[in-house]
Structure formats: C-alpha cells, structure tokens
Structure 1
C-alpha cells in the first residue's frame, strides 16, 4: 500500500510526519499526534487525546480527511485552505502514523518540512523560517538517523542549506545520503552537472547521491505502477542512461537505504542494547514511584496505607533519634526533629532563667548581664505590679501603657513559619517581654508594698505576694508561647517535608495534607491551650509547693542575708588558749548583731518578701520549665497518641470512606495516561530487548 502523503508545488509539509512500519501478524493503521516541546499542559492533553485506531487501509480520501483533522487540532493551515491570521503555517508537533502488517519492515521515516530562506507575505514569516530550521536540526542530530538530503536537480547544489546542516550533524558523512529530484526539469545542456554529482565528481558525499523522477503536476493522480514505468522510461534515455543502475530510481534508493540501515544497525547495536536497558530501568522506576493502579477503593486504600506506614516508620525512627536508619535524615537535617526540639528546649530554659523575671533579685546579676539575641528586639520597660487579673497580665504583650509593644521586646516567629500560612491563625503573633536592667528590687517591692498595705501591723501581707509574683513572672508568657510556637512550626515542617518524601505525587500529597489539616490545627491549638493552662496555674493560681527545696532555700537565704550583714561588723582580735598561745579570731560584737537585723517594721517586711519571693521563684521556675517541656512540647506535640505526628497511620487510612479515598488517591486523566504510556513503553522495550537477544 502506498501512503498518500500530500504533494504540491508549493509548501505542503507543515509539520514533521513520523511514519513507523512494524512487522506484525495483524494489519492495522494507527494515527496520533506527539505534542511539541513548547505546548501548554492543556494543549498537550488535547493533542494526546487525538488518536484513530482500527484502520486497515488509507485511501487518498480517508487520509485527506484525517490530515485535515490533524491540522485543525494543531492549529495550522490545512490542505486546500488559504493562509489565515488565526492559524500557524508550521507546527513543532509530530503527526505519527504506525503501519503494522506481516509484510512490513521495521523502519521509521520522518518527513519534515523543507528549508526555505525567504518569507512570503501573508503566508510565512521569519519565525516560520527559524522554526523549520530548528525542527530539521533537531531531527538530524540522532546518530541512528539516516539523513536523506533531498535537493532539486534543477537548482545550484552549492546553495542548498540542508547539505551544510547535514555536514554539521554528520561530519564523517556516515549517514548522509543525497537524493536528487526533478531531473526532468533540468535545462537542456545542464544534465552533465547533475550526472557529475551522481558519479561523485563534484560536491562529493561519502555515501553519494541517488536520483529519482517525481510525478509532474499533471501526473499527481496516477498510481505508483504508472510512476515507476515513466521513471524507467525517463532514465533509459540519454544522457541519463549512462548512470549506474544502483543510483537511479526509487527501487535503487530503497535498496540503498536497506543496506545503509543494516550498516547503522550493526554499528549501533551495542549502544542500542545499553540504551534500551537504561530506558527500561528508568521507566520501571517511574512506574514504581507512581505506586500500584488506583482504580478501585481497595487499590486506593492499599496505596495510601503504604504511604502512611512509611510515614509512621520514619517518624518513629526520628522520634527515637535513629538517624542512621534512613538516608533522608542525612539529606535533610530539618527532619531530625528531636534534635531541633532539644536545642529549642535548652534555649527556652535559658530564656526563662535569664529573662523570665522582670526585675533582678538582689545579688543576682543574671538579668543585668543579659544581652539580646536574634530572637529579641531590645527595648526597655519599668515593671509595675498588676491587680492579679488575666487582663492585667496582657499589659506586657498588648498596648497597655506599662508594657506595650513600644516598651517591650518583641519575640518573633521562627523563619520557617512563613512557609505555612495555615499556621498563622493559631500561632501567637504579638508576644513581648520586658527586660529591666539595674532596677532595685527592694525599692520596687517597697513601692508596691506601700501601694497595697492596709490597716494593721507592719508585717508581710500575704496578699501582696501574688501581685508581686505575677509581675515578676510576667515574661514567662511571652517566652513560653514563643517556645511552643516554634515547636509547632518544627512539627508541621517535619510532617510536610516527610510527606513530600514518602508521597512524591503532588496531587495525593496535597490531598492528604488538606484532609488532615483540621486535625493538625486542632492538636496544635490543644498544645497551646494546655501551655496557657500551665501558665494560669503557675502564675495566677495559689502559690504553693510541697518541694522541701523551698524551705531549705528560704532558710539558706535568710541565713546568708544575716551572715552578710554581720560581716560588715566583724573584726579580728587576739585570744590566748589554755597553753598561753595567742591566736587571731573573728568576732562580732552584740551591738553589731543587733544592727545587722532590719531596724524598722517596713524594712523587715520588704526584706522578708524579697526572700520568700526569690526562694519561691527558684523552685517554681524549675518546675515550670520541666512541665512545659514535658507536657506542652513532648506529650502534646511529639510522643503521645494524641500527637499530630500520630494522625497519619494505616489505621487512620482504613477509616476513610470510598469517596474520601477517591478524592485523595484517585488518579486523574493525566496520571492515568502517564501510567498507560509507561506500561506501553515498558512492554515495547522488553519486546525490543527480547528481539536483540534473539
């Protein structure tokens, strides 16, 4: 059967046509379109969708109808159509025709547009010229492609750009065969120049030239037998009859191509085997990465359960710090979650110790020595005790006059939070702490004591301690919520990064994240609420402790205060022992011991309040740090069964409805087509591999 490709005296080939012949027991014809490299994803799908199968013959009328449909889909001017501003003249898409049958040779032929140099107004443009040159250049680069450099015999061979391009692509000339056409149009007397080309006397090609006679315009409707007779008759006349028979006519060209094809196949055979092996491995790898088919609910559930199981396994190894179990821990240190949490917990504990108190305790230089870190923007605030309410506690993190955003230190979110806008509604945004340097705590206590005392004896009023305690620990809220914010960001970043690793398909990954997002946010919110509960209990609840360390510390501080005061009155004196030897001893006169004690009731009360507040602060600070880390971070966000890390499990997947499974794991048309194409390519490669072995 002859394929009725378009023939015209003007431009007739608008795109590359890939004609593939396959030997097969069954006779069949399939036509399709391979999208060009610059097509949009939407257009790619439209072009790939064009396919006609089940054809057994292609007569001229049927082929013309198909060709018109192809041109319509590609958006190029079709056969018989006039140039249009809405349609292109050429396309980088490929029209593929597969011809299978028992008498077919395994061969592919690419018919590409001819090169032209001058644009025609209303028909072609400079862009068309560039497109065709690029198209030709791309196709002839393949080392296994035979380049048929088709040139009209009635033009100057030296001006034909295709020969220059062929020489550049095939510098050794091992796969370039010249084909001279239209010898019947050569001017009288110029025949010898064409004959010299065929005989290799000028413009020599390593593989030489063949010469064929085309149908004339009047002969376009004649059959192939008629064409062959006319060709033989033409080359039987002088001077053409002097040419070697193996260089003249379509039959000679066909024979020359078969020989050349055999040579190239033998030369490229080892390379072909290696390339098939590599391509087969890549296709199988890509198909494996897509997972099993996901048509039914059971297949979709099995696929998601596999993802969840891998996620759970890597998460458990991460929480156990078994970083050697998976390469991903070495590739992405952000997945070393426990390490990040431990480092941040250490910083949290240090922040509470050094910046947690509003005013430095007497004899404690830690607050005065504090320097701001990259998490704190330094400002200044003088503390003032509040009335013990939650609203008053907000004065240091809102816009109250005693501790607004302008007089505090803003605590910023971890930089990773900007990647996850879904967290911004639950993370605490405006957190501030006050940081006072060099403030006399005894003067502050006395001021607050004077403002709060009532009738009665000048002794320590138990009602003033909670007020002072809440003010002294007011920085805990900002520091603690900033800590929990960061742990939430670490956990969320871990989940998203790990899902990206175990689920490379973006549609499924995004569907899973979207499906569990509400549960994640609920668990993050629960952690924040629990930490806020701990803050309320420790800062606004009853001041109490059963830790004996409080009593010991209180007694120790009182003794140290007395000893320090008495040392100011001590002096050395001589004493004789029983043997008459003199020794120097330190003594404190009774009057010095008396003056070492606070003289007035107010001074005594202030001093005692400071001692109790300091001792209680030390005890509760340690308890608070451990509680926040153990409960707010470790339990709520990492290790408990209610942790956000424990949401995505195979058991969770098993509870999904068929509708939910299909929405998340169901394959879209693009994925289905990609899977089918991979399967078909794998089958073809395995068949090719089998043939090469045979």
Structure 2
C-alpha cells in the first residue's frame, strides 16, 4: 500500500485529452486474519481526506462483483460531495455477473437512475474491464471498444443509453464534465488570481525600483519615510481612513484608540491600587468596590498591572494610629489641632505607590506604541524577515529612539513626583477650601464626631484625603499629557522623516537601503509572476460564464 496519489495524463491524436488523479483505494473493514493497521485503512482514509478537493470531479468506481465495498465507497463519496453535484458513478466488471442475476438487476437499476435516493447529478456509466486472461494487444483500443460494444448489446445493459456505456463514451463524457466543472470554477479562480496578483503587486511596490545608485537609495528611503510619517500622524490623530488600520472592524492598529484605553486604565489603576491604605468610611467598615467597564477589563487582561492591593483600614483605625503618633510628636499647637506636617507625612505615605504604578504604566504604553510603529513600518517597507531595509531601520533607528525616550520618560516621572515626594505641592487655596466646605456641608453627624479629638485627627484625615484626591487628578493628567504625550507620542513622527533621509551620507544610505541578492531575485520573480497572473486573468475572463440580468432583476435590486 502507498499513500501517494497517482496522476495519469492521457493524450493522443485520436483521444480526448484527459488527466486522471487516482487516490489511494478505500479499504473495507479488516478481516479476522487482518488488523486495521495491516489493511492500511487509516493511512488510506487520511490520504483521501487530504486529496478530495472541492473542485475535483469525484468518480465512484462501483465493483459489480464485490458488492461488499460499494456501501463504503458511496458513503465516502457522499462526505466529499454531499449535494451529489460533481459525482460520476462508474460500474466496472459487469461481465463477471451472471446474466439476469439479482446483483446485475440492482446495478442496472442504479445505472438507469431508478433508485433516486442513490442518484447523482452527473449520472452513471458502465465499463467492461479487460479480463485478466486477455492476451490481446493492450494498445489496440479499437478492438477493445468493439468487444465492449458487443458485450453491452447482448446483455440487459443494452437499456442504458450508448453515451453512458463503454470506454470511448466515457472519455468524451469526462471531457464535457471537466469542461463544465472548469466553467463553474472560473469565477472562484478569477478571485484567487486577482488576490494573488494584488498581493504580489503590493510586495513589488514595497520593494520599489532597483536601487543601484545612491540617488536610487535616497529616493526609495524618502518615499518610505514619507508614507511612514503619514501613517504615524494618522494613528496619533485617530484618522483611520488608510487600509492599514483595518477599516471599521479593525482594532489592533488604531493607536489613538489604544492610547485612550491606556488613559482610562491608568485612572482606574491609580484610583484602585494607587494608595498604600484604602480608608473605608461606611458603617460596615468596607470600601465601596470600583466598577469597571467590560472593554476596560479586556484591555487590562491584555496589559495587566501586577501591583499589590491597598491595605484596607477603617476611619477609626487610622484615627487611632494618628492619635498615637500625634501624642508622641506634639508640640505647642493648640488642643484639637494637629501639626501640618502630619498631614503631609500621611499624604506621602498614601501616595508612595504612585511611582511604581507610573513606571509600569509607561512600560505598557511603550509596548503598545512600539508594536504600532513596527507594524506601520513593515506595512510600508515590507516584513522584517524578507526586507533587509526593514531590519536595518528597526534596529538602527527605532530601537535607539525608544531607548532614548525611555531615559527621558524616567526623568519626567521623577520630575512629576518630586513636588509630592518633597512636600511642596500645595493645592490652590480656593479649590482646597471649596472641597473642604463641600465635605463639611454634606458630611454626616458621625463624620463630625470623628473630627472631635484632642489632636484633631479626624480633621487631619479629612484634609489629607481631600488633598490626596486633588493631587491624584493632577498627577494623572500630568502623567498622561506631560510625560506620555509630550515625551513619547508626539515625538513618534520624527523617528524617520524625509528630511532626515535627505541629510544622510552615502555610507548611511547604503547601510539602510542597499539591496541584497535575495531582494533582486525576489523582484525579478515577482515581475515574472505578475506577468503570468495577468495573462491567466485575461484567459479566465475570456471564458467566464456571462450572467444575464433582466430589467426586472435590476428593478428589484
């Protein structure tokens, strides 16, 4: 047994041209002396599954003498052609059946279509095989045809139309079937050729013209830089008209959309995980859970913030802690009033996680941005694996840019945190007083009782929490606008610009844009393939079935 597929091409001056693809045989269940592995059933079934393509014409070879196999063959063919639209049933070895026997009667009924449940649209055909003991010249096709014709005329098979019996008629019939099948396949083939042609033309456009001189290399890089700069600007501004962004349903390459999600994510993370302690104010002593939209949850699953949750603490527990600290550090302040430094120190302890949150957020945003610019450049220049220019520019221009931006962002984080860490970031007087007055007006009697103590710890917590909420909004906005937008996002179009390419010397141009032998060979191959595809497209269009549309159909449309 072999899993190989046999391909036979038949042609000659007096023969219809025909190509036959013979799949491995379909095996009947193993006998008592033979296992399934020995019979080769598993390997044969695998080959049949792989070889039965949608455009093939299926020939069911029904062995009239071995009825045991027929049900297996019919079932297997039905799996690959459920509608029975491209199946031709061929009965073989009818000469081995006894005349007027039950088996001959069943095969005859199938052949003439009286058993509709087993019928196929292409119908049936009957062949008389060459006997095993036949010693005549195998090449004498005429004598074989005569013998076959006499056999069918002398038996019950004479009721079958002449066009549906004999090898000569089968050759003509198969030619017509294949011709019709090809005509049906032309629209699909046209689409496949057009898609391949478009793909090759796009790749050839990315490769550009042959680059044999410094001027050619410069023109090539200037074009790439201009297209890349435009794509990046569109991504930053949220203009997604270019096909690169994937249209209405595309999501992976829409940079501004991802950045907006990043902004929502950092606000949520700072609110939920940005403090050292989570002060609960409800009667049960539990903090109110923060709801999160589904789209933001999916984003955080993709870009997780692996940070510890704040320590839960009630207002009363924190007040008791502060009273002990205030008692140990009291000076000459009046009763009921705490030292202002206590508020600052409490705020600094609460805001300590901000630095870790900000640093992790910058890593996530940088990953999003880097993925976008890499895809944008590969879109205009070609995949990194096949385009040497892409590899050279990503490693010598893009990577150094992000390394330098990383240092700038680290410095900017420290700059934004410094006022809070050193204690001189005071809120505007009017805003702070307004927030305090609002809390006093809307506070409960229980909250008022909390502020009455020898050291005013309740008022300390209230002021610290008000200051923390105001500072958190300020820090979040600064992190988004002053750090990420100003130091990273708005600098992206400058990674590679036409102006920068114009200022490169010949050595640098050769490093980035010189062509390899593989690139030249690929361009030549693409040009050849495109020419052949265009010729094939013209041929297919010539034989494409014409669809006639009536005026009534047009009105309905």
TM-score norm. by structure 1 comes to: 0.48
> Which residue of structure 1 aligns with residue 74 of structure 2?
164
Query: d(CA) in 2 for partners of 1:15 and 1:300?
Result: 49
Among 194, 219, 222, the alignment partner of 1:281 is 194
> Is the counterpart of residue 16 in structure 1 residue 5 in structure 2?
yes
* CA shift digits 1:15-45 (9 cap, x unpaired): 2223457xxxxxxxxxxxxxxxxxxxxxxxx
Query: d(CA) in 2 for partners of 1:544 and 1:171?
Result: 77
> Which residue of structure 2 aligns with residue 261 of structure 1?
175
**How far apart are residue 691 of structure 1 and its match?**
4.6
Among 207, 216, 234, the alignment partner of 1:317 is 234
**How far apart are residue 447 of structure 1 and its match?**
4.3
1:291–1:435 Cα change, 3 Å:
farther
> What is the correspondence of 1:46-65 to structure 2 with a 5 Å cutoff?
none
1:127–1:417 Cα change, 3 Å:
farther
Query: d(CA) in 2 for partners of 1:618 and 1:146?
Result: 74
Query: d(CA) in 2 for partners of 1:175 and 1:216?
Result: 31
When the two chains are superposed, the root-mean-square deviation of aligned CA atoms in Å is 6.6
**How far apart are residue 272 of structure 1 and its match?**
3.0
Partner-residue secondary structure (3-state), 1:109? strand
1:470–1:176 Cα change, 3 Å:
same
1:309–1:117 Cα change, 3 Å:
farther
Query: d(CA) in 2 for partners of 1:295 and 1:203?
Result: 62
Aligned length: 479
1:357–1:472 Cα change, 3 Å:
farther
1:280–1:431 Cα change, 3 Å:
same
**How far apart are residue 133 of structure 1 and its match?**
4.7
Query: d(CA) in 2 for partners of 1:308 and 1:318?
Result: 15
> Is the counterpart of residue 204 in structure 1 residue 82 in structure 2?
no
**In 2, are the aligned partners of 1:507 and 1:664 still within 8 Å (CA)?**
no
**How far apart are residue 209 of structure 1 and its match?**
1.1
> What is the correspondence of 1:149-548 to structure 2 with a 5 Å cutoff?
149=61, 151=63, 155-156=65-66, 160-161=70-71, 164-165=74-75, 168=78, 169=81, 176-178=88-90, 180=92, 186=96, 192=99, 203-205=110-112, 206-213=123-130, 224-225=138-139, 227-228=140-141, 231=144, 242=154, 253-262=167-176, 265-266=179-180, 268=181, 271-287=184-200, 292=205, 294=207, 312-322=229-239, 328=247, 331-332=250-251, 335=255, 336-343=257-264, 371=287, 437-438=315-316, 439=318, 446-447=326-327, 449-450=329-330, 469-496=344-371, 508=385, 515=395, 516=398, 519-520=401-402, 522-540=404-422, 543=424
Query: d(CA) in 2 for partners of 1:347 and 1:523?
Result: 25
Structure 2 stretches lacking a partner, 5+ long: 113-122, 438-453, 547-557
> What is the correspondence of 1:123-162 to structure 2 with a 5 Å cutoff?
125=37, 128-133=40-45, 135-136=47-48, 142=54, 145=57, 147=59, 149=61, 151=63, 155-156=65-66, 160-161=70-71
Query: d(CA) in 2 for partners of 1:116 and 1:603?
Result: 94
Partner-residue secondary structure (3-state), 1:115? coil
TM-score norm. by structure 2 comes to: 0.58
1:317–1:491 Cα change, 3 Å:
farther
Query: d(CA) in 2 for partners of 1:210 and 1:127?
Result: 27
1:292–1:530 Cα change, 3 Å:
same
* CA shift digits 1:393-430 (9 cap, x unpaired): xxxxxxxxxxxxxxxxxxxx998677579xxxxx9967
Query: d(CA) in 1 for partners of 2:515 and 2:289?
Result: 47
* CA shift digits 1:475-522 (9 cap, x unpaired): 334135414533541452354367558858876599869744564355
**How far apart are residue 115 of structure 1 and its match?**
3.2
1:374–1:202 Cα change, 3 Å:
closer
**In 1, are the aligned partners of 2:126 and 2:166 still within 8 Å (CA)?**
no
Query: d(CA) in 2 for partners of 1:619 and 1:437?
Result: 19
Among 486, 489, 494, the alignment partner of 1:638 is 489
Query: d(CA) in 2 for partners of 1:435 and 1:665?
Result: 69
Query: d(CA) in 1 for partners of 2:516 and 2:324?
Result: 61
Query: d(CA) in 2 for partners of 1:292 and 1:649?
Result: 19
1:688–1:625 Cα change, 3 Å:
closer
Partner-residue secondary structure (3-state), 1:208? strand
> Higher Cα Rg: structure 1 or 2?
1
1:433–1:536 Cα change, 3 Å:
farther
Query: d(CA) in 2 for partners of 1:171 and 1:620?
Result: 70
**In 1, are the aligned partners of 2:60 and 2:77 still within 8 Å (CA)?**
no
**In 1, are the aligned partners of 2:183 and 2:543 still within 8 Å (CA)?**
no
Among 531, 540, 547, the alignment partner of 1:688 is 540
**How far apart are residue 116 of structure 1 and its match?**
3.6
* CA shift digits 1:296-332 (9 cap, x unpaired): 9859999998887666445433433446886657643
**How far apart are residue 436 of structure 1 and its match?**
7.2
**How far apart are residue 111 of structure 1 and its match?**
1.9
> Which residue of structure 2 aligns with residue 33 of structure 1?
none
1:448–1:683 Cα change, 3 Å:
farther
**In 2, are the aligned partners of 1:280 and 1:686 still within 8 Å (CA)?**
no
